Each structure stands twice: as structure tokens, then as C-alpha cells.
Amino acid sequence: MSYIKVYVHFVWSTKERLPFLNDSIRNQLFAHIRDNAKKKNIYIDFINGYTDHVHVLVSLNDDLSIGKIAQLIKGESSHWINQLQLTAGKFEWQDEYLAIGVGDDKLDIVRNYIAKQPEHHKKVSCADEYNKFIERFGFDIVRP
């Protein structure tokens, strides 16, 4: 038996950061993502977001890679939104996403941060938040 305790904080945006995710759609979407993830053996610890992006805290297992988890959640959820025609136009997620490891000592801080997304974005734009993540975690560094 494998013992794994690794949490990853995912963040991804709607294509072109279009504000498709109003309150009604977000609530339906998050419930659907949780249900779908459970069927795919993905444990979602916490999920929330705002009009143009989603934050998901996932506990990894030994079956799926970080990339596969993002692919499964993003791909299926965009298909579901389009199938139910929940948005005026075709819905898509941006191809890119952030995935950041979270230590045990930071889990409650990350959960609280994710929970307060609508409140947080009254003060900070989604694009500014994303850029701060990129800078804070050194993703803007060019690697050979």
C-alpha cells in the first residue's frame, strides 16, 4: 500500500478571462466538478473561484499525475457547461494552469484564501492575482 499526502493548489482561467462564471453557474459548476472528480478518483479538498477563474485544492493519489488531473477536470467541465448551454457563447478554459504544492502547515491558509475569492477580488483583479502567483513562485524565470 502506498501512503501519499501531497496537496496541490490548482488555478486556471476561462479563455480570454471572459467573466462567464456568474454566481449561479459557479455553484452548479463546483458541485459538478466535485461529483465528476469523485468518479475519477480525484479528491477535491476545496474549490471556489470568481467570474473568470477557479481555485481547486486537490489531494494527490498514486494513480494520476498533476497534468492528468487538470486535463480531466478542465476538459470534462467545459464539455458539461457547453452541453447544458450554461453560457451565452462557447465556453472554454485557457490551456495553461498553475499547480502549486501546499504543505500541511499551509492547508488552512490556502482553504481560507480559496473560500474568500469573491471578497478578495473586490480588491484585487484576477489578472493581478495570477501575475502575483507567477512572480511569487518563480514561474517567470526562464529555464534552459
Candidate from 80-84, 88-92, 132-136 with smallest mean pLDDT: 132-136
From residue 7, alpha-carbon distances to 54, 61, 98, 134, 135 in Å are: 16, 9, 13, 19, 21
Average pLDDT, the chain: 92
Provide the whole-model pTM: 0.90
Position 143 pLDDT exceeds 60: no
Residue 13: band (very low, low, confident or very high) from pLDDT cuts 50, 70, 90 = very high
**Count of C-beta atoms within a 10 Å radius of residue 39:** 9
Q: Which CATH class is domain 7-135?
A: alpha beta
Candidate from 4-8, 80-84, 119-123 with smallest mean pLDDT: 119-123
Position 20 pLDDT exceeds 70: yes
Helix (H) or strand (E) holding 90: none
Residue 142: band (very low, low, confident or very high) from pLDDT cuts 50, 70, 90 = low
- Residue 12 near residue 105 (C-beta atoms within 8 A): no
Cβ-Cβ contacts under 8 Å for 105 (sequence gap 6 or more)? none
